[in-house]
Amino acid sequence: MSAILEVKTAVEGFRLWPGALDAQAQTDLVDAVFARLEAGPFYRPQTPGGRPFSVQMSNFGPLGWVSDPVGYRYQPTHPETGRAWPDIPPVLLDLWDATVGEPRRPDACLVNLYREGAKMGLHQDKDEADLGAPVLSVSLGDAAMFRIGAAQGGRTTTLRLDSGDVCALTGPARLARHGIDRVLEGSSRLIPGGGRLNLTLRVAGISPR
């Protein structure tokens, strides 16, 4: 994790490591993800308003983020199979230790799959018990246009996230508004069936400091 690039955005605490994962590491991680999907398949959550997300999701770890007409929350089981989520790939825990400087380990890894036309509107991540803990995100497959702006509103910055890029959200960036405006379809051949994968590590539950 040598080349730390502080990307200029309106948001302090956003760190980006472009190309943190080389081609082999990306392939290995995709394999680790797909091996776990048999036990925790992608599904399409509904918004609290009852509309389907365009992004397909699954989770790894003790807790997983879900959304349905009841609301947003973390829960220990897959909403469709009722099974516990698969474990977080160990390589992601190593990446957490090497980047965020947070002694607590993440207990949730949200897996987002963007197939054709999928996007994610501007939002804040506020469903975790301690909003002081950082978030770490890994992008794989097709590139995406990512937008981020301060929690309070105002201007946003757009930047491209490529396969193998890793970003950390700490401090003021933790409550930043952010979203995926579009995926550059066909820009990578990494993901079986095409598209983009995003893995997001979080400390979601209550864990003592």
| Beta strands across the sheet bearing 144-149 | 120-123, 177-183, 144-149, 156-161
Question: Residue 123: which H helix or E strand, with range?
Answer: strand 120-123
- Answer for which of 167, 183, 201, 204 binds ligand MD3 (CB under 6 A) is 167
**Residue 74: which of 132, 130, 127, 136 has the closest Cα?**
127
- Residue 9 interacts with ligand MD3 (CB under 6 A)? no
Q: 197 with 30: CB under 8 angstroms?
A: yes
Which residues sit opposite 167 in a β-bridge?
Answer: 16, 137
| Shortest separation between residue 151's beta carbon and Fe ion, angstroms | 12
Which two three-digit tokens encode residue 198?
């995003």
The reply, when asked if residue 178 is annotated as ligand binding, is: yes
Measured from each CB, the residue nearest to ligand MD3 is 198
Residue 123 marked ligand-binding: yes
What's the token pair of residue 150? 């301060």
Q: How many residues bind ligand MD3 (CB under 6 A)?
A: 15
The answer to the question of residue 33 lying near ligand MD3 (CB under 6 A) is no
Residue 183, interface with ligand MD3 (CB under 6 A)? no
Q: Which residue has the tokens 């609290």?
A: 48
Residue 96 to residues 7, 43, 143, Cα–Cα distance (Å): 19, 26, 22
Q: For 166, phi and psi rounded to 5 degrees?
A: -125, 135
Q: Scan residues 63-82 and list those touching ligand MD3 (CB under 6 A).
A: none
Among the listed residues 141, 149, 174, 191, the single contact to ligand MD3 using CB under 6 A: 174
Backbone angles phi, psi at 91, to 5 degrees: -60, -30
**Smallest distance, Fe ion to C-beta of residue 39, A:** 24
CB of 28 to Fe ion, least distance (A): 25
CB 166 to ligand MD3: min, Å: 10
- 176 belongs to the binding site for ligand MD3 (CB under 6 A): yes
Residues 125-184 contacting Fe ion, CB under 5 A: 125
Q: Where along the sequence are the contacts to ligand MD3 (CB under 6 A)?
A: 110, 112, 120, 125, 135, 137, 167, 169, 173-174, 176, 178, 180, 198, 200
